[in-house]
């Protein structure tokens, strides 16, 4: 593959073989002699578009089979991986569309969390982080499953209530 070093191909291939598309620095530290070498490696892969940063310590590996680094992963799974399955839920239009309350496909995913606020673009999806309380993340969210992955989303009843407030 053009543009990737032997070391980069080795690490990416190993992660893909283990089907570890979401990884942390601890998952790849055995390939490097120092922290600086690992930091440079991650920086170069991000610059080349082969990994995407989800949080300070978590990354998403764009598979080698992705042509020119173009790849789309399900945004609900990305949101879950960003927060390690805790203290968040997906709300807004994304939740309404998930529960079939609207046919409108959301352009942005609203994530309610206790940890951050603002916007972040990851791969092809824009995430809008909204601050909420930990009590609300437990009370208003339900856990759903997509394939083999679980994620937290606004409950159907709360999504209906949210839709009524939009009219």
How far is it, in rounded angstroms, from Cα 74 to Cα 77? 6
Residue 67: what pLDDT? 60
User: Residue 56's CB: how many other CB atoms inside 10 A?
Assistant: 7
pLDDT number for residue 92 = 93
Does 69 score more than 60 pLDDT? no
Question: Do the Cβ atoms of 48 and 4 come closer than 8 Å?
Answer: yes
Q: Are 110 and 93 in contact (CB under 8 A)?
A: yes
Please indicate, yes or no, whether the overall pTM of this predicted structure exceeds 0.75: yes
Q: At what angle do helices 35-48 and 6-17 cross, to 10 degrees?
A: 80
Q: What is the mean pLDDT of residues 68-90?
A: 82
The helix or strand, by DSSP H or E, that contains position 42, with its residue range, turns out to be: helix 35-48
pLDDT of residue 84: 87
* Mean pLDDT (whole number) for 145-157: 91
Model pLDDT, residue 104: 86
Length of the chain: 167
pLDDT at res. 57? 84
Distances, alpha carbon 50 to alpha carbons 93, 120, 127, 132, 154, in Å: 30, 18, 20, 33, 32
Q: Per-domain residue ranges for the chain?
A: 6-67, 75-165
- pLDDT digits over 42-51, tens only? 999 999 888 8
* Averaged pLDDT score across all residues of the chain: 88
Residue 34, pLDDT score: 93
Using a pLDDT cut of 70, give the percent of the chain over it: 92
Please compute the mean of the pLDDT values over residues 66-71 and round it to a whole number.
58
pLDDT band at residue 66 under the 50/70/90 scheme: low
Which of 21-25, 66-70, 91-95 shows the lowest mean pLDDT across its residues?
Answer: 66-70
Q: Note the pLDDT of residue 23.
A: 93
CATH of domain 6-67: 1.10.10
């Amino acid at each position: 593959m053009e543009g990737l070093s032997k070391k980069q191909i080795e690490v990416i291939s190993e992660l893909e073989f283990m089907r570890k598309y979401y990884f942390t620095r601890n998952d790849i530290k055995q390939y490097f002699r120092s922290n600086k070498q690992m930091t440079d490696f991650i920086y170069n892969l991000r610059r080349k578009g082969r990994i995407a940063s989800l949080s300070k310590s978590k990354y998403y590996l764009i598979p080698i089979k992705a042509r020119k680094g173009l790849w789309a992963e399900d945004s609900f799974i990305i949101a879950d991986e960003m927060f390690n399955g805790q203290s968040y839920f997906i709300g807004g239009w994304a939740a309404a569309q998930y529960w079939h309350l609207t046919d409108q496909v959301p352009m942005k995913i609203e994530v309610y969390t206790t940890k951050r606020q603002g916007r972040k673009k990851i791969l092809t999806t824009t995430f809008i982080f909204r601050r909420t309380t930990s009590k609300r993340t437990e009370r208003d969210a339900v856990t759903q499953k997509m394939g083999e992955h679980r994620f937290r989303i606004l409950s159907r009843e709360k999504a209906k209530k949210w839709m009524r407030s939009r009219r």
